[in-house]
């Protein structure tokens, strides 16, 4: 008993106990809401579990085999998600970066501009997508009607045409560049002014200062933003669901991978909620995201300045 | 102090343990409760209706679960006793339903008496909810395809309203007359185009004598009759006889004008009786219905789809006997009128006679209820394949949309593509 109480006393005084006291809530939260679902999804992916049948059989790799052999939408949804993530990611980063550069300049009322540019980020995707859907409607939307009435031009089919639907979704995604802009802005504001002053004394041009000081100094934040927009783009659901519905209209051209998973897992009209099959799809997608993130970490060696803390 | 703290924690843990196990025993009040799944908009009518039942039956407490997902609720400690399901979805969860036949025989006091009750359901409605000889669900609502028309738009063109003996030629002829353009933009459509599901294209395919599956249950999209139906669907939306929007059109002024409820679309073939309350909520919207036109080349073809939905008892119900008593109360005269007042088309002779007894001019829209009940007699239920809904939706419809936009050389190429799309989908389903 004495040995137990002394061990308890020692534990209470240790750094581990302090760590556990502070971290207990997030750890429990993580285990319950992240670790358990991840594990449960993996287990489900080896079964034929549906929500419409009481019996569950272990089918091992059958779902995975079936997906690679027969799921004609696998490639389509994967390619759509990658194009969407790449397109929206590049455009978002470029716009966010230039906006951050503008907001970093010393002009009057810059605070107001910061709020204005950040505001779209707080508008829910569902609301903004609904507005964009009206705007981009090829038959009656403001853009095409303006083009037709003023220039006699038949505008693109936007989200109603297979050729342009994904591009329209990418254009709509620019709306949410606010958080990336803030990350860039905070990085730009942390670049020591002394570096620019020293460069000026050496006669460096604006381009040289940008390439040799600004870019290397903000490169860790650029890397963070690249990883964030890629993961956000790949797991994007709302825009695809609102524009093309669970069907990915027109003709699966807006079908993103998470929408495909949702449609198989939770939409009764599409095969009776096949949780096992959808879980296998989710794990395949998880691996895809992991590969993309790993590639980005490898590529970061070429452009991230490790000396910047 | 330390010991007191430890003892306190132990006591707390024990309390949690006892409380957790207490839940497993079952609350006696819950065992007296019959839980029913219902749509949210039914609340105003169902609450007083069930309150009255509870006042007369003190041994039963009714709890209606409005707007919840019944599949989610089935896994809970106190699952719903009465599940709501349609004939189209029934096959995927048929094993969750109790056979109502023995319960009815007990309740009515014999097989003949139970059969007399079943005979009050309109032909084909209750039958479509039978699986392996078991009556799993009793229908409280029916949907039948009809030809919807806007009386004001017909009056404006001085055209006679559609009648039950219309053929598809009459439909096309009138549709073209009712289609209007200004400066190359469509301002009124003769008819709507139902996109995304089988609600319209399957009607034409069936009118010409085709069907989704053949008698052996194989896909039958590649038959001449089915292809004729799909060609008609295309010609209606694209081509010289165009009088309906092409959902894939991307040109200004060529799109859908908001469907039948927009009042800029004269007719809707197929439609859904579930839309009646929303149509009637619009001011001065004078609409009515007629039977689905017949194909000129196949006058006996049945195109209209009959779908029913209703209540059955969950195999996991805690008190099936009480649930059945509530179910029977739903089919009392009062119960049928209550569902009728919710815009439901109760498929029984009792409700039909009640509706038809109301003078024509005093009825709410649609006034032509004779056509509705006549169409129910001349209609066909959908295939009882649990995958039908999934296959006939996106996989096959997408190919039709592509066909409408000129994506296939002809209807034969479409049929091949559609069959392949359907087969590919079915291959992913275990």
- pLDDT tens digits, B328-359: 999 999 999 999 998 899 999 999 999 999 99
Chain A residues with CB-CB distance to B397 below 8 A: 247
Chain A residues with CB-CB distance to B95 below 8 A: 53-54
Q: Specify the pairing of strand B130-131 against strand B380-381.
A: unpaired
- Name the residue ranges covered by the structural domains of chain A: 16-44, 66-303
Please give, rounded to a whole number of angstroms, the shortest distance from the CA of A141 to a CA of chain B. 8
C-beta atoms of B424 and A70 within 8 A: yes
pLDDT score, position B214: 95
Q: B70: which DSSP letter?
A: H
Beta-carbon contacts below 8 Å between A and B: 101
What is the CB neighbour count within 10 angstroms for residue B168?
A: 22
pLDDT score, position B19: 45
The SS3 call for residue B242 is coil
Q: Taking chain A, what is the end-to-end CA distance rounded to the nearest angstrom? A: 49
| Angle formed at CA B316 by CA B27 and CA B97, multiple of 5 degrees | 150
Query: What are B418's two structure tokens?
Result: 């559609």
| Rounded Cα gap, residues B367 and A18, in angstroms | 76
ipTM above 0.90, yes or no: no
Residue of B nearest to A246 (CA): B394
Strand partners, B295: B298
| Rounded Cα gap, residues A285 and A258, in angstroms | 8
- pLDDT tens digits, B158-170: 999 999 999 999 9
Chain B residues with CB-CB distance to A52 below 8 A: 71, 92-93
- pLDDT tens digits, B124-144: 999 999 999 999 999 999 999
Mean pLDDT in residue range B50-72 = 91
| Rounded Cα gap, residues B291 and B372, in angstroms | 7
Strand partners, B148: B268, B289
**CB-based contact, B248 to chain A, within 8 Å:** yes
H helices of chain A, in order, are: 2-13, 15-30, 36-44, 62-70, 72-103, 110-122, 125-135, 142-151, 165-173, 178-189, 193-201, 206-209, 215-234, 238-244, 257-266, 275-303
The SS3 call for residue B165 is coil
pLDDT band (50, 70, 90) for residue B14:
low
Instruction: Please check the confidence at residue B118 and state whether its pLDDT lies above 70.
Output: yes
The tens-digit pLDDT sequence of chain A (309 residues) is 577 888 777 777 788 888 888 899 999 999 999 999 999 999 999 999 988 777 889 999 999 999 999 888 999 999 999 999 999 999 999 999 999 999 998 888 888 888 888 888 888 888 888 899 999 999 999 999 999 999 999 999 999 999 999 999 999 988 888 899 999 999 999 999 999 999 999 999 999 999 999 999 999 999 999 999 999 999 999 999 999 988 898 889 999 999 999 999 988 665 557 899 999 999 999 999 999 999 999 999 988 987 765
Residue-range domains of chain B with CATH: 30-144+307-374 (3.40.190.10), 146-303+393-428 (3.40.190.10)
**CB-based contact, B423 to chain A, within 8 Å:** no
What is the CB neighbour count within 10 angstroms for residue B365?
A: 16
Q: Which of B93, B256, B394 sits opposite A52 (nearest CB)?
A: B93
pLDDT score, position A111: 86
What is the CB neighbour count within 10 angstroms for residue A96?
A: 24
Average pLDDT, chain B: 91
Length of chain B as a residue count:
430
Dihedral angle computed from the Cα positions of residues B48, B49, B51 and B52, in that order, rounded to the nearest 10 degrees: 120
pLDDT band (50, 70, 90) for residue B32:
confident
Going by CATH, does the domain composed of A66-303 fall within 1.10.3720.10? yes
Instruction: Concatenate the DSSP letters of all residues of B101-121 into one string.
Output: HHHHHHHHTSHHHHHHHHTTB
pLDDT band (50, 70, 90) for residue B21:
very low
Interhelix angle B349-356/B333-341, nearest 10 degrees: 60
Please give, rounded to a whole number of angstroms, the shortest distance from the CA of A63 to a CA of chain B. 9
pLDDT score, position B286: 97
pLDDT band (50, 70, 90) for residue B49:
very high
| Rounded Cα gap, residues A22 and A24, in angstroms | 6
Instruction: Please check the confidence at residue B187 and state whether its pLDDT lies above 70.
Output: yes
Dihedral angle computed from the Cα positions of residues A80, A81, A82 and A87, in that order, rounded to the nearest 10 degrees: 80
Residue of B nearest to A142 (CA): B252
Query: What are B242's two structure tokens?
Result: 């165009």
C-beta atoms of B251 and A139 within 8 A: yes
- pLDDT tens digits, B196-235: 899 999 999 999 999 999 999 999 999 999 999 999 999 9
Instruction: Concatenate the DSSP letters of all residues of A17-64 into one string.
Output: HHHHHHHHHHHHHHIIIIIHHHHHHHHHTTB---TT-S---B-TTHHH
Query: Is residue A231 a contact partner of residue A84, using CB atoms and an 8 Å limit?
Result: no
**CB-based contact, A266 to chain B, within 8 Å:** no
Query: What are B257's two structure tokens?
Result: 């004008």
Phi then psi for B251, rounded to 5 degrees?
-90, 150
| Rg (alpha carbons) of chain B, rounded to whole number | 26
Q: Which of A53, A59, A139 sits opposite B254 (nearest CB)?
A: A139
pLDDT score, position B22: 44
* CA nearest to A133, candidates A163, A179, A165: A165
pLDDT score, position A272: 59
């Amino acid at each position: 008993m004495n040995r137990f109480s002394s061990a308890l006393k020692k534990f209470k005084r240790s750094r581990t106990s302090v760590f556990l006291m502070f971290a207990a809530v997030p750890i429990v939260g993580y285990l319950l809401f992240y670790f358990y679902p991840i594990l449960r999804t993996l287990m489900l992916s080896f079964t034929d579990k549906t929500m419409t049948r009481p019996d569950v059989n272990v089918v091992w790799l059958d779902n995975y085999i079936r997906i690679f052999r027969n799921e004609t939408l696998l490639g389509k949804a994967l390619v759509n998600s990658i194009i969407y993530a790449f397109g929206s990611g590049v455009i978002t980063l470029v716009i966010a970066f230039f906006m951050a550069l503008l907001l970093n300049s010393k002009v009057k009322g810059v605070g107001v501009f910061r709020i204005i540019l950040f505001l779209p980020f707080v508008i829910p995707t569902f609301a903004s997508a609904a507005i964009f859907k009206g705007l981009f409607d090829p038959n009656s939307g403001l853009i095409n009607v303006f083009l037709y009435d003023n220039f006699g031009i038949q505008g693109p089919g936007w989200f109603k045409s297979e050729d342009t639907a994904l591009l329209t979704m990418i254009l709509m995604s620019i709306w949410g560049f606010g958080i990336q802009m803030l990350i860039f802005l905070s990085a730009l504001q942390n670049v020591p002014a002394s570096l620019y002053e020293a460069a000026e004394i050496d006669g460096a041009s604006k381009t040289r200062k940008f390439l040799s000081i600004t870019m290397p100094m903000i490169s860790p934040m650029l890397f963070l933003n690249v990883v964030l927009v890629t993961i956000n783009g790949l797991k994007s659901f709302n825009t695809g669901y609102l524009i093309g519905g669970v069907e990915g209209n027109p003709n699966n051209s807006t079908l993103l991978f998470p929408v495909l998973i949702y449609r198989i897992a939770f939409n009764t009209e599409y095969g009776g909620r096949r949780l096992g099959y959808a879980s296998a799809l989710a794990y395949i997608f998880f691996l895809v995201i992991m590969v993309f993130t790993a590639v980005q970490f490898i590529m970061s060696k070429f452009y991230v300045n490790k000396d910047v803390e | 102090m330390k010991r007191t703290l430890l003892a306190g924690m132990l006591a707390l843990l024990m309390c949690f343990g006892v409380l957790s196990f207490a839940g497993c025993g079952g609350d006696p009040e819950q065992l007296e409760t019959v839980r029913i799944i219902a749509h949210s908009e039914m609340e105003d009518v169902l609450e007083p209706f069930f309150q009255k039942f509870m006042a007369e039956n003190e041994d039963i407490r009714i709890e209606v679960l409005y707007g919840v997902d019944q599949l989610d609720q089935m896994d809970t400690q106190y699952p719903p006793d009465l599940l709501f399901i349609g004939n189209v979805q029934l096959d995927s969860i048929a094993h969750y339903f109790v056979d109502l036949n023995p319960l009815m025989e007990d309740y009515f006091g014999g097989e003949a008496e139970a059969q007399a009750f079943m005979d009050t359901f309109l032909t084909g409605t209750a039958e479509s909810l039978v699986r392996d000889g078991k009556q799993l669900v009793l229908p409280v609502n029916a949907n039948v395809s009809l030809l919807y028309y806007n009386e004001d738009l017909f009056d404006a063109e001085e055209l006679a309203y559609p009648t039950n003996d219309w053929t598809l030629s009459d439909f096309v002829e009138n549709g073209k007359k009712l289609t209007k353009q200004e400066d190359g933009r469509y301002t009124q459509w003769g008819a709507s185009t139902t996109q995304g599901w089988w609600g319209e294209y399957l009607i034409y395919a069936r009118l010409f004598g085709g069907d989704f599956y053949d008698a052996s249950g194989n896909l039958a999209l590649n038959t001449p009759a089915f292809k004729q139906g799909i060609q008609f669907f295309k010609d209606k939306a694209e081509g010289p006889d165009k009088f309906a929007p092409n959902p894939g059109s991307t040109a200004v002024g060529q799109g859908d004008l908001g469907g039948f409820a927009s009042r800029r679309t004269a007719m809707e073939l197929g439609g859904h009786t579930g839309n009646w309350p929303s149509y009637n909520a619009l001011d001065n919207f004078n609409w009515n219905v007629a039977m689905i036109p017949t194909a000129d080349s196949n006058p006996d073809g049945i195109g209209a789809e009959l779908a029913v939905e209703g209540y059955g008892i969950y195999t996991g119900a805690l008190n099936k006997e009480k649930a059945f008593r509530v179910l029977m109360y739903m089919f009392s005269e009062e119960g049928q009128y209550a569902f009728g007042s919710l815009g439901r088309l109760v498929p029984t002779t009792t409700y039909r006679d009640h509706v038809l007894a109301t003078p024509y001019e005093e009825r709410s829209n649609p006034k032509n209820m004779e056509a509705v009940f006549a169409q129910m007699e001349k209609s066909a239920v959908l295939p009882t394949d649990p995958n039908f809904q999934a296959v006939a939706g996106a996989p096959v419809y997408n190919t039709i949309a592509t066909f409408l936009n000129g994506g296939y050389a002809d209807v034969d190429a479409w049929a091949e593509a559609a069959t392949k799309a359907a087969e590919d989908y079915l291959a992913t389903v275990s």
